[in-house]
Amino acid sequence: MNLFTPTQYVENYINAGKSKAEMPLLKMFLLAVLAGFLIAVGGAVVNTATHTITNVGLARMVSGLLFPFGLAMVVLTGAELFTGNTLMVMSLLERKISLRGLLRNWGVAYLGNVTGAVLTAALCAFGGQLKYSSGQLAVFAMKQAAGKCAMPIVNAVILGILCNLLVSTGVLLASSAKDVAGRILGAYVPVAVFVICGFEHCVANLFYVPVGLFAKTVPAYAALAAEAGVDLSALTWGNFLLRELLPVTAGNLLGGVGLGSLFWFCHREQNS
C-alpha cells in the first residue's frame, strides 16, 4: 500500500516530534522563519487573486483553491510551523519528549513564524506588491485587516480552534502518504476547508493584519482607503495583538493539542 495506517503515521509523528524537540535552536528558528514566509506567501497570493472579486462565495472558493499550497510547501520543505507543531503533544503524552522540550520548540517556532510572516508583509507593503489595480489591493488588505482587528474575542478563539483542528488534520494526513502527490493532497483538502469557511490561523494572520497595518502608514494607500470610505479605526497594533492574535493563537493551540491528544489516545501503537 502507498499509505500509512493511522497507527503508523501517529507513531511516525511521535518519533518526528522527538527530533523536533531536540533540533538545534538556530536550525529550528531558521526553519520556522521559512514556514512563516511560506504561509505569508499563501496569504499574499490569496489577496492578489481575490481583491477584485465581489461575489463572496466565489472569493472564498478561490482562496480555498490557492492558500493550501502554503502548507503543502511547509510539509515538503520540513519547515517548522507552530500550528502544526501543536501535534507534538503526542510525543509528550508518549513520554518521548519533556514539557521543557515541547515549550522550547513552540516558543522558537512561534518567534520564527512571526519573523518570516511579518517580514514578508513589510516587503509586500513597502516594496510595491500592493499596487495592483491602482492600489486597490492595498485597500482590500487594509479593509480585511481592520475586520480581523474588530472581531469579538470569543469568536477569534472559537474560529482559531476550528482552524487548527483542520490544519493539524492536514499535517497528519500529509504524513499518511508515501509519495509527494499524496502528501500534498493530504495537506490540501483540510486547509481548503478552513479557508473557505473563514476560520482563523494565527500565522496566516501574522501576514494578513501586518500587511494592512504597514499599508496604512503609506500616505497614498491611506488616501485611497479614505476615498473608498473604509473605516480603519480598529486597525491598530494594540487591537491586533490583544484582540486578534492572542485569542486566535490560544484557539489554535487548543485545537491542535485537542486533536493530537485524540489521535494519540485512539491510534497510538499500544491501542492498535
The residue type found at 216 is: K
- The predicted pLDDT at position 270 comes to 67
| Sequence-ordered list of residues with C-beta below 8 angstroms from that of 246, at least 6 positions apart, any chain | none
CA dihedral 44, 168, 101, 36 (to 10 degrees): 0
In order along its 272 residues, the chain shows pLDDT tens digits of: 788 999 999 999 999 999 999 999 999 999 999 999 999 999 999 999 999 999 999 999 999 999 999 999 999 999 999 999 999 999 999 999 999 999 999 999 999 999 999 999 999 999 999 999 999 999 999 999 999 999 999 999 999 999 999 999 999 999 999 999 999 999 999 999 999 999 999 999 999 999 999 999 999 999 999 999 999 999 999 999 999 999 999 999 999 999 999 999 999 876 65
* Cα–Cα distance, 88 to 254 (Å, whole number): 13
- The predicted pLDDT at position 271 comes to 60
**What is the per-residue DSSP string for the chain?**
--B--HHHHHHHHHHHHHHHHTS-HHHHHHHHHHHHHHHHHHHHHHHHHHTT---HHHHHHHHHHHTHHHHHHHHHHT---HHHHGGGHHHHHTTSS-HHHHHHHHHHHHHHHHHHHHHHHHHHHHTTGGGHHHHHHHHHHHHHHHHHHTS-HHHHHHHHHHHHHHHHHHHHHHTTBSSHHHHHHHHHHHHHHHHHHT---HHHHHHHHHHHHHHHTSHHHHHHHHHTT---TT--HHHIIIIIIHHHHHHHHHHHHHHHHHHHHHHSGGG-
Number of residues in the chain: 272
- The predicted pLDDT at position 268 comes to 83
pTM: 0.96
Neighbour count for residue 57 (Cβ, 10 Å): 9
- The predicted pLDDT at position 70 comes to 94
Specify whether the CB–CB gap between 30 and 57 falls below 8 A.
no
